[in-house]
Structure 1
Amino acid sequence: MPLITQLIAVLVFTCLSFAARGEKLRIVTEPWAPYVYEDNGKSLGLDYETTAIVFNRLGIEVEWQFLPWKRCLSMLESGQADGALDIFHSDERDATLLYPSEPLSEVQFVMFYANARPHPFRTLDELRGLTIGTSPGYLYSKDFSDSTLFTREPAPTHEANFGKLVRGRIDLLITDRRVGQHLLDELGIRDKITENPTIISQQSQFLAVRRNAGMDLLVQRFGAELKRFKREPAYAELSARYGAEPAASVKAEKTAATSEKTVEQHESSAQ
């Protein structure tokens, strides 16, 4: 049997095996608007809707669960989940997770401060003595995580972090640019908070699955179909709806912060 025929057969078997057992692919993720979130019981977001379309084209049914990120990772590690949406790639996870060749989206991490207590900066060296709000279960870069210049203080949710920032319980918080901008409108605090323009880091977000039988072929097909979908007008319309920026402009906005890079990875990244 030719190799390509064998590969197709294994993929079909993998897809059919879920249906035959009456099972769905179990995917976990944390609400991370505008990439993935729920609104009045409806699942939405650029990466969620993109992933749902790709899986539908592959004939794979998915069971989604929206949970705090640390819980997502725990379920992934224990085998209670088959994959995670919007997870960052990390070398240490290669032994247990498979990543498609095509990312779902690109995120840029920046910091936000309260207008009543402004802390504009260009490098992490300027944050000496300050308290930075972080998210539990997220993996940050070594420079950020190991720095003794400032204190890192986690909050249970992104909304809670912004609440602490408004009340002066933290000096700044770090999160993705579009997530932060979305929350400024969602929480009605745009007049109270400012985004610091320095881009701390940029990272790709993926759908990753556990290394189980047949999953390597599923990941290959997912990546190929995702790449195909991204070339279609439907994806351009979806991206525009969620304010996605062209890749070229994303690269052009990188700043001199490269010497003090921070990688917020939904420990991940993932989120």
Structure 2
Amino acid sequence: MKHSTLTAALLCLSLGIPVRAEPYLVVTEEWAPYNYLENNQLTGMTTEIVRAIMALTGDAFQVEVLPSMRSSRVLKTRPKTILYSMFRTPEREPLYKWVGPIVQESIYPYQLASAQQPVNSLEQLLNAPQITTRNAGLIPDVLQSRGFKNLDKSATGSQQLYRMLLAGRTEIIVGDTPAGVAYYSRQLKIAPGTLRRIPVELYRSSLYIAFSHDCDDEVIAAWANALEQLRRSGELGRIQQRYAQASGN
């Protein structure tokens, strides 16, 4: 891949054609514990995995943290763009090229453990007065596709979801995996036992790395091979386990 790119660049120079190759860009959103900023430094489970991949491939692509809607838009519109962590859905399948899976995760709703009416079924969720989720992204889309007509999509970020629940501004929230809930509970100093996971799995899928269609197949193959190296060596499992332990899972 790097040899062919260099050859093409030298050919352009020999013909007097200016080289305007679009550099690769890696983007992600703030979604703990997979990718998030801590002391203004990007970290997280999948961030560590992506960095380990680039260490093996020798790539030094720029990485940017963007809001959820913008990161998805950049992936769709900017050439040579890579996005992590993304759920691979049937609707998204033809839009991108994929490397993974990195990790499999589930999404559950949560309510306060002190709620007077514990929710335990999908029917109860569908008939709840209000379920609060983030204002954009896969989860509200999934819930709408499953027939939820009681969604409050007013939260602009995960922390706002928990603050709304604790303040009594909503009774049910949906937005994070169990590992994410554990992370934000620590961040917001929510005492253990305060939140109750409603036993209804609303979504289950694997997180992947998505590549815009114009990305070179050699780059994608190199990343896939590097991920497999991390898997075989046990490093992938070690990274995942470190964050699972930190989340209390």
Q: What aligned pairs does 1:136-151 form with structure 2 within 5 A after superposition?
A: 136-140=135-139, 144-146=143-145, 147-148=147-148, 150-151=150-151
For residues 38-62 of structure 1, the C-alpha deviation after alignment (integer angstroms, 9 at most, x for no partner) is: 2112221111111111112111112
For structure 1, which runs of at least 5 residues remain unmatched after alignment? Answer: 1-9, 245-249, 251-271
Q: Kindly tell me: are residues 118 and 153 of structure 1, through their superposed partners in 2, closer, same or farther at Cα, counting changes over 3 Å?
A: farther
Letter in 2 for 1:132: I
Asked whether 1:217 is paired with 2:218, we answer: yes
Once the 2 structures are TM-superposed, how far is the Cα of residue 36 of structure 1 from its aligned partner?
Answer: 1.2
Work out the percentage of aligned pairs sharing the same amino acid. Answer: 18
| Corresponding position of 1:231 | 232
| Corresponding position of 1:45 | 44
| Corresponding position of 2:4 | 13
- Equivalenced residues, count: 234
Q: Kindly tell me: are residues 227 and 188 of structure 1, through their superposed partners in 2, closer, same or farther at Cα, counting changes over 3 Å?
A: same
| Aligned mates of 1:159, 1:180 — CA distance in 2 | 10
Q: What aligned pairs does 1:1-271 form with structure 2 within 5 A after superposition?
A: 10=1, 12-14=3-5, 24-79=23-78, 82-100=81-99, 102-117=100-115, 119-127=117-125, 128-140=127-139, 144-146=143-145, 147-148=147-148, 150-174=150-174, 175-191=176-192, 192-212=194-214, 214=216, 216-243=217-244
Provide the secondary structure at the position in 2 that maps to 1:182: helix
Q: Kindly tell me: are residues 163 and 152 of structure 1, through their superposed partners in 2, closer, same or farther at Cα, counting changes over 3 Å?
A: same
Once the 2 structures are TM-superposed, how far is the Cα of residue 178 of structure 1 from its aligned partner?
Answer: 0.8
Once the 2 structures are TM-superposed, how far is the Cα of residue 204 of structure 1 from its aligned partner?
Answer: 0.4
For structure 2, which runs of at least 5 residues remain unmatched after alignment? Answer: 10-18
Q: TM-score, with normalisation over the residues of structure 1?
A: 0.75
Provide the aligned C-alpha RMSD in A.
Answer: 2.9
Once the 2 structures are TM-superposed, how far is the Cα of residue 120 of structure 1 from its aligned partner?
Answer: 3.3
Provide the secondary structure at the position in 2 that maps to 1:170: coil
For residues 241-263 of structure 1, the C-alpha deviation after alignment (integer angstroms, 9 at most, x for no partner) is: 1117xxxxx9xxxxxxxxxxxxx
Once the 2 structures are TM-superposed, how far is the Cα of residue 63 of structure 1 from its aligned partner?
Answer: 1.1
Tell me which stretches of 4 or more aligned residues in structure 1 moved more than 4 Å: 14-18, 20-24
- Is the 2:80–2:214 contact (alpha carbons within 8 Å) kept by the matching residues of 1? no
- Is the 1:104–1:204 contact (alpha carbons within 8 Å) kept by the matching residues of 2? yes
